[in-house]
Amino acid sequence: MLSQKTIDIIKSTIPVLEVKGLEITSVFYKNLFTNHPELLNIFNHTNQQQGRQQTALANTVLAAAKNIDKLETILPVVKQIAQKHRSLLVKPEHYPIVGEHLLGAIKEVLGDAATDEILAAWAESYGIIAQVFIDIEKEMYNDSASQEGGWSDFKEFKVIDKVKESDVITSFYLLPKDHTVLPTFLPGQYITVRAKVAGQKYLLNRQYSLSDVPGKEYYRISVKREAEEQQPEGVFSNYLHNFINIGDSLELTAPAGDFTLNTDLESPVVFISGGVGITPLISMAKQIANTQPNRKVEMICASRNAKLQPFEKELISLSKQINDYSLSFIYENPSEEDLKNPYFKKQGYIDAAWLTSNIQAVDAHYYVCGPVPFLKAVVSNLKQLNVPETNIHFEFFGPSMSLEG
Ligand code: HEM
């Protein structure tokens, strides 16, 4: 337990952290990777270069500081981060390294303002926050190892099929090399893929949603070829598209993540995807087809045009398996051919007016996935329609951050 004095000191540093938080975490990462370059085998270099990880960590440290005397209120956030940590093999021994560098960065940025008393208070509370993460992650490692066929490290998989789903998205079907049964997963979960990419000094890790249902002998991921292969965000996806073929190996950690379908409910579901954001949602919809075929499903997919829309056939065939199913394609730039598709419903973007006149379900749960600007727009549309926040579920690509701002 922290003393009241320590709690008061931590709380009094919040205004400074709010101003300097980003600077502190930037210094922190620079020093961390200088002293521990081996950690670059774990961290996503693109997120680092774009400052996204700095924002995510700064936000969390601040949230923790604000709630230091009632950390249970940030437990849902901690659990979500812990899922990501577990999927990247973050271990208890990493926490003191991070703590030391975080304190060092506070000292470096705040200078004389960071008194010994302040640093001691932060050291103590970091220890408490870190222990919360370590305990939750320990449970998660145990859970994933104790499932039938489960594992808690990286495991080698073989690519048994490679299927083009759109002009930019390709699916990889992955079978464990040791031929063990694959553990089940919750539709919506992701795995981490790790590989040594030629020309890269460190191992690269990326998370991809599982795009098929549990219970198959393989896991399927569907990867969008990002931008140009020379661009940092394109390195890994272009590597998979260009160099990974049937028979090749990839290393995977066990499924993780809490953006998952609640199958205890029977209420209608509306899925809204932007581009490759369909990947966790198609897994959820196929699971409904298998286990809750009477559950009402409305599937809304936004893309630039049909050539960029993956899984068209699979999405259409769900109408044969789900009794009350509707499918809408919304294309920004439809071709002449796209305009004739019976599932094409709108040219342009999803907006509140279109949602109001097209969504039939009452009391639905909404699952939304896509790039950040898309998510911001759709979630704000749903709020305009007075959909309760508890019924809106969404997942970002990249580190979690606030939808505000
Ligand atoms: C991701 C916070 C400790 C490695 C994250 C994220 C947050 C966060 C907010 C983004 C989560 C998301 O993407 O959904 C924290 C806090 C820590 C802590 C508050 C200490 C109490 C650590 C440690 C390591 C680590 C000890 C290992 C050295 C990572 C990695 C990611 C991550 C590799 C994925 C992000 C990427 O690759 O860009 N952490 N973390 N974290 N964390 Fe931590």
Starting at the edge strand found earlier in the chain, the sheet holding 169-176 runs: 204-209, 190-195, 249-252, 155-164, 169-176, 219-224
Residue 69, pLDDT score: 84
CB of 168 closer than 8 Å to CB of 308? yes
H/E run at residue 315? helix 312-321
Q: What is the mean pLDDT of the chain?
A: 91
C-beta of 58 in contact with ligand 1 (< 6 A)? no
Cα–Cα distance, 185 to 257 (Å, whole number): 10
State the closest ligand 1 atom to the C-alpha of 95, by its place in the atom list counted from 1: 26
What six digits make up the tokens of 289?
Answer: 């087809």
- What is residue 403's predicted lDDT score, i.e. its pLDDT? 40
Whose C-alpha lies nearest to ligand 1, atom 3? Answer: 95
Same domain, 222 and 336: no
Give a yes or no: residue 261 inside a domain: no
Query: Is 268:298 a contact under the CB 8 Å cutoff?
Result: yes
151-178 pLDDT, tens digit each: 999 999 999 999 999 999 999 999 999 9
- CATH number of the domain to which 161 belongs: 2.40.30.10
| CA-126 nearest atom, ligand 1 | 21
Residue 179 tokens, joined: 């031929």
> Domain span at residue 188?
155-252
Q: Could you give the residue numbers annotated as active site?
A: 95, 137
Q: With a 6 A CB cut-off, is 182 part of the ligand 1 pocket? A: no
Beta-bridge mates of residue 325: 297
Question: Distance between CA 305 and CA 338 in Å, rounded?
Answer: 7
Question: Is residue 53 within 6 Å of ligand 1 at its C-beta?
Answer: yes
Query: CA-CA distance, 232 to 399, in Å (whole number)?
Result: 16
Q: Judge if 109 and 15 occupy the same domain.
A: yes
Q: Is the pLDDT of residue 400 over 60?
A: no
- From ligand 1's centre to the CA of 56, what distance in Å? 8
Residue 401 is predicted with a pLDDT of: 42
Strand, coil or helix: 12? helix
Helix (H, G, I), strand (E, B) or coil at 324: coil
Write the Ramachandran bin of 55: left for phi over 0, alpha for psi from -120 to 50, otherwise beta: alpha
106 and 169 in a common domain: no
264 belongs to a structural domain? no
| CB 94 near ligand 1, within 6 Å | yes
Nearest CA to ligand 1 atom 29: 85
Ligand 1 atom nearest the C-alpha of 61 is 19
Tokens of 284: 């959820």
Q: What is the DSSP string of 36-97?
A: -GGGGGTS-HHHHHTTHHHHHHHHHHHHHHHTTT-GGGGHHHHHHHHHHHHHTT--TTHHHH
Q: Which of 101, 116, 146 is the last residue of a domain?
A: 146
Q: What is the pTM of this model?
A: 0.92
Give me 6's structure tokens: 């320590």
Atom 8 in ligand 1: which residue has the minimum CA distance? Answer: 57
Domain final residue, candidates 115, 146, 177:
146
If phi > 0 it is left, if psi is from -120 to 50 it is alpha, else beta; for residue 187 that is beta
Place of tokens 């999803």: 350
In a domain? residue 173: yes
Give the number of domains in the chain. Answer: 3
359 and 296, same structural domain?
yes
362-380 pLDDT, tens digit per residue, is: 799 999 999 989 999 999 9
CATH code for the domain of 116: 1.10.490.10
Q: Quickly list DSSP for 342-384.
A: TTEEEES---HHHHHHH---SS-EEEEES-HHHHHHHHHHHHH
Question: What's the mean pLDDT in 278-294?
Answer: 97
Give pLDDT tens digits for 90-107: 999 999 999 999 999 999
Is 399 near ligand 1, meaning CB less than 6 Å away? yes
At 290 the three-state DSSP class reads helix
Q: Which of 79, 83, 85 to mutate to test the pocket of ligand 1 (most atoms within 8 A of CB)?
A: 85
Q: Are both 163 and 232 inside the same structural domain? A: yes
Q: Which of 272, 259, 239 is nearest to 187 (CA)?
A: 259
Q: Whose CA is nearest to atom 43 of ligand 1?
A: 85
Q: How far is the CA of 85 from the centre of ligand 1 (A)?
A: 6
| Confidence check: pLDDT of 225 > 50 | yes
Q: Is the pLDDT of residue 63 over 50?
A: yes
Interior CA angle at 145 toward 141 and 147, to 5°? Answer: 125
Q: Do the Cβ atoms of 355 and 326 come closer than 8 Å?
A: no
Q: Which atom of ligand 1 is nearest to the CA of 48?
A: 38
Indicate whether 239 belongs to any domain.
yes
Query: 101 — phi, psi (to 5°)?
Result: -75, -30
Same domain, 139 and 11: yes
Same domain, 16 and 140: yes
Last residue of a domain, one of 96, 126, 146: 146
Nearest one of 357, 277, 269 to 309, comparing CA atoms: 277
The tens digit of pLDDT for each residue in 111-130 reads: 999 999 999 999 998 999 99
24/328 Cα distance (integer angstroms): 46
* Gyration radius of the chain's alpha carbons: 22
Share of the chain above pLDDT 70, in %: 94
Residue 40 placed within a domain: yes
